[in-house]
Structure 1
């Protein structure tokens, strides 16, 4: 899938999520909401990349260290600039305070922990990711809700949390080659290791230049893939919003069609 198509797929997912949120919350989604969502995704992506870089250097980072990174600051500044351009100073400052203060406290307790010396089982890794990935989506719900005067209920936040885990499962399937090369934790790889025969067959192919897609996974890792998709379905089935279910499906299909990261997020069609 080309960068242009990757960007279009990302924009489509964001549009579906925001429209579903508007239905759940009862407010009219605006184009600005899509622009803010895109800036938030870029900020969250920069945080993740900087966190992974520190872990590769065996240096468990604090939130303040991560946020101080130049790329993270650029992404955060772009988000803040948009908030202050589109909304009142009061709303923009409230959004920024929520994003930085709450995120700092949340990630300090759920994400930025020293890595364990031993490999985690799939279930243990899934559990450890649940706070991080759910958190990203919960923060998005709050960030978009503030300008509309809406504070999401526990039910709505649970929807976003389940969607976050479905997104993480799709993302790790898509990024398995890059994560394996970098030595990063990856849910699909973790489950694959629990089936040694499939792991031995798959790793040389993953590390080769061969295109990875659903057909390859089915041929090499049928048991792993079946179990992995069942876990994805368990989170997807928790979603009561038809829009959120569609978004989860689209992210999974996108992951099964390719294995390269989404590098072109434009947000030009996030909300029309």
Structure 2
């Protein structure tokens, strides 16, 4: 399922950048998405739980996709950080939560709300970390990025950071703290807020491991653009 959602998200971003239709059916009909769907369908074919999983995914998509399109098609300069954060709730956090629900449905053991909340917070953390690591790539391709949204609210820091956009492709924590201390601290505050809510030791370890690319100054994560990238 992770690969299916990854393919869908990649095609969504391609269509968003090119101005093509973002109708769910059009994105879902893309060849790469259909190939991943076929693999998932073949895996689930012997299991009667596939019907519950299908209904779950359809319900979540119909409820959340229109709002996600509405947010992501807004001009970046007019979009608020609040709207950016809402998009993460629908995208990265939403996927992590649905992932847990699908696993639960497959095993006939629906997860409790407090468990789903842990996965949702982990999805938020994954996106916030991605937005540090992928910052320059996101800027180059016009993708939604929370750190960039925070920078837009601080003109001086935004100007200093964007002055490096043409040449910089990796930045360590020291560079961020020196170049845009206020905006970066706000970004880190969001990370801390969600990390405090993750109390499961395995999930907290997973969240901490996501910070490794930031520490290593790795420029881009070439993986799924949703909650469980790393």
Equivalent residue pairs, number: 222
TM-score normalized by structure 2?
Answer: 0.85
2:16 alignment counterpart: 55
Structure 2 distance, partners of 1:124, 1:94, is 31
Q: Structure 1 residues 249, 80: CA separation in 2 closer, same or farther (over 3 Å shift)? A: same
Gaps (5+ residues) in structure 2? 225-229
Please give the alpha-carbon distance, in whole angstroms, between the structure 2 residues aligned to 1:139 and 1:93: 15
Residue 157 of structure 1 and its aligned partner are, at CA, apart by 1.5
Which residue number corresponds to residue 161 of structure 2?
202
- Post-superposition shift, 1:228? 0.6
List alignment gaps of at least 5 residues for structure 1.
Answer: 1-39, 265-269
List structure 1 segments (4+ residues) > 4 angstroms apart after TM superposition: none
The yes-or-no answer on 1:262 pairing with 2:219 is: no
Match of 1:178 in 2: 137
* Residues 207 and 75 of structure 1: CA distance in aligned 2, closer, same or farther (over 3 Å): farther
Deviation for aligned residue 1:60:
5.3
CA distance in 2, matches of 1:196, 1:226: 16
Say yes or no: does 1:112 pair with 2:69.
yes
> Deviation string for 1:9-32 (max 9, x for gaps)?
xxxxxxxxxxxxxxxxxxxxxxxx
Is 1:206–1:212's contact at 8 Å kept on the other side of the alignment?
no
Relative to 1, partners in 2 of residues 1:134 and 1:60: Cα closer, same or farther, differing over 3 Å?
Answer: farther
Q: Is contact 2:136–2:168 with CA below 8 Å preserved after alignment?
A: no
Aligned partners of 1:41 and 1:214: how far apart in 2? 29
CA shift at 1:220, angstroms?
1.7
The answer (yes or no) to whether the contact 1:63–1:112 under 8 Å persists in 2 is no
Q: Using CA pairs under 8 Å that are at least 6 residues apart, name the structure with larger relative contact order, 1 or 2.
A: 1
The residue number in structure 1 matching 2:53 is 95
> Contact (CA 8 Å) 1:174, 1:256: kept in 2 or not?
no
Contact 1:60 1:113 in 2 (8 A): no
Q: Report 1:242-261 matches (<5 A).
A: 242-257=201-216, 258-261=218-221
1:183-194 matched pairs, under 5 angstroms: 183-194=142-153
Q: Secondary structure at the match of 2:79?
A: coil
User: 1:143 offset after TM fit, Å?
Assistant: 1.4
Tell me, yes or no, if structure 1 residue 140 matches structure 2 residue 99.
yes
Change (3 A) 1:253 1:229: farther
Aligned to 1:151: 110
User: Tell me, what secondary structure is at the counterpart of 2:91?
Assistant: helix
Deviation at 1:210, TM superposition (A): 4.3
Match for residue 227 of structure 2? none
Partner of 1:83: 44
